[in-house]
C-alpha cells in the first residue's frame, strides 16, 4: 500500500460528459502529480501541484484541469470527454516535489468513455 | 516526441537466469534515472535509481547501469524470480522540453519469468 488513495477505481461515461477524479496523497507529502497511461503508451505527465500551487505542466489538454486543495488532496477534472480520453489515470505524491524524489503512486482510475 | 524509449515491449526469462531490461534516452539534460515496477491493478512502485554522476548502482538482486555517452541505461535482475514478473518503467528527470523539471517515463517492458 503506497498510502496514495485514488477514487473512483473505475469510471464509465459517455462522450461529451465531465468527470472528476480524486486523489489523496500520502501523509506528509506536499506534492501531487497526475499521469495518464493510454494503451501501449508510457505514463504521460499531465500536471504537478505543490502545496496548493501549480508547479509544472505537461501534455495536459485544455479540456482538462486540476487543483490541489488546502488539505492537499487533488482533483483532476476532465470535460467534453472524447473516446480517446479513455485511459488509466494515476495520481502520485512526493514529499518535496523535486524531480529526483521517488514518487508514490495510487492504484489509478480506469476511465472508459463510450 | 518520446524522450525515454524502451524498445522491447516484452521479455521472457527463465527463473534463476539474468533479466536485462534496456532503456534509451535522447535528452542530454536528464541527470537522474529511476526504474519503477508495476503489477496489474496496482500503481507503479519505485525500484532503484541512479544519478548521472555514477555508472552503476546496486540494490540486492537489482543493478542499474548507466552509459551516458550512449544515453543508455539497463536494469539487471539476477537471479530472476517469479515475483519479478511485472511491467518495468524506466524514467528520467531533468529539464524537460517544457522548460521545467519533471519525470519522463518510457512505455514499459513486460517481464515474464518462466518457472
Reported as a single tens digit per residue, the pLDDT across A83-98 is 999 999 999 999 988 8
Give the bridge partners for A105, in sequence order.
Answer: A92
- Strand, coil or helix: B51: strand
The Cα-based distances of B46 to A111, B33, B39, B76, B90 in angstroms read 24, 11, 12, 15, 10
Considering only the beta carbons, identify the residue of A56, A102, A108 that sits closest to B101. A56
A contacts of B108 (beta carbons < 8 Å): 42
> Within 10 A of B16 (CB to CB), how many other CB atoms are there?
11
* CA dihedral angle for residue B21, residue B27, residue B32, residue B36, rounded to 10 degrees: -40
Q: What is the pLDDT of residues B43-90, one digit of tens each?
A: 999 999 999 999 999 999 999 999 999 999 999 999 999 999 999 999
Smallest CA–CA distance from B34 into chain A, residue: A102
Q: Which three cell numbers stand for residue B39?
A: 503489477
Q: Do A31 and A55 meet the contact criterion of CB atoms below 8 Å apart? A: yes
B39 vs B2: which has the higher pLDDT = B39
- d(CA B22, CA B49) in angstroms, rounded, equals 14
Q: Do B51 and B11 meet the contact criterion of CB atoms below 8 Å apart? A: no
CB pairs below 8 Å between A and B: how many?
67
Residues 6+ positions from A97 with CB-CB distance below 8 Å: A30, A31, A48, A50, A51, A55
B99 vs B61: which has the higher pLDDT = B61
The residues on B that touch A, with CB distances below 8 Å, are 2, 4, 6, 9, 32, 34, 36, 41-46, 49, 51, 89, 91, 93-94, 96, 98, 100-108
Amino acid at each position: 500500500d503506497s498510502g496514495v488513495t485514488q477514487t473512483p477505481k473505475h469510471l464509465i461515461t459517455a462522450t461529451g460528459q465531465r468527470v472528476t477524479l480524486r486523489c489523496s496523497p500520502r501523509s506528509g507529502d506536499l506534492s501531487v502529480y497526475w499521469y495518464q497511461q493510454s494503451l501501449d503508451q508510457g505514463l504521460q505527465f499531465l500536471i504537478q501541484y505543490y502545496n496548493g500551487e501549480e508547479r509544472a505542466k505537461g501534455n495536459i489538454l485544455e479540456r482538462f484541469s486540476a487543483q490541489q486543495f488546502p488539505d492537499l488532496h487533488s482533483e483532476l477534472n476532465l470535460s467534453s470527454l472524447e473516446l480517446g480520453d479513455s485511459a488509466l489515470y494515476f495520481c502520485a505524491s512526493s514529499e518535496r516535489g523535486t524531480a529526483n524524489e521517488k514518487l508514490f503512486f495510487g492504484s489509478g482510475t480506469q476511465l472508459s468513455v463510450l | 516526441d518520446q524522450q525515454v524509449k524502451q524498445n522491447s515491449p516484452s521479455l521472457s526469462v527463465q527463473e534463476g537466469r539474468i533479466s536485462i531490461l534496456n532503456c534509451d534516452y535522447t535528452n542530454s539534460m536528464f541527470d537522474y534515472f529511476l526504474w519503477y515496477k508495476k503489477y496489474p491493478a496496482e500503481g507503479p512502485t519505485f525500484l532503484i535509481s541512479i544519478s548521472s554522476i555514477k555508472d552503476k548502482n546496486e540494490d540486492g538482486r537489482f543493478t542499474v547501469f548507466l552509459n551516458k555517452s550512449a544515453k543508455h541505461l539497463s536494469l539487471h535482475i539476477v537471479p530472476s524470480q517469479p515475483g519479478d514478473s511485472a511491467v518495468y518503467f524506466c524514467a528520467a528527470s531533468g529539464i524537460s522540453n517544457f522548460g521545467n523539471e519533471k519525470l519522463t517515463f518510457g512505455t514499459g517492458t513486460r517481464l515474464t519469468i518462466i518457472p
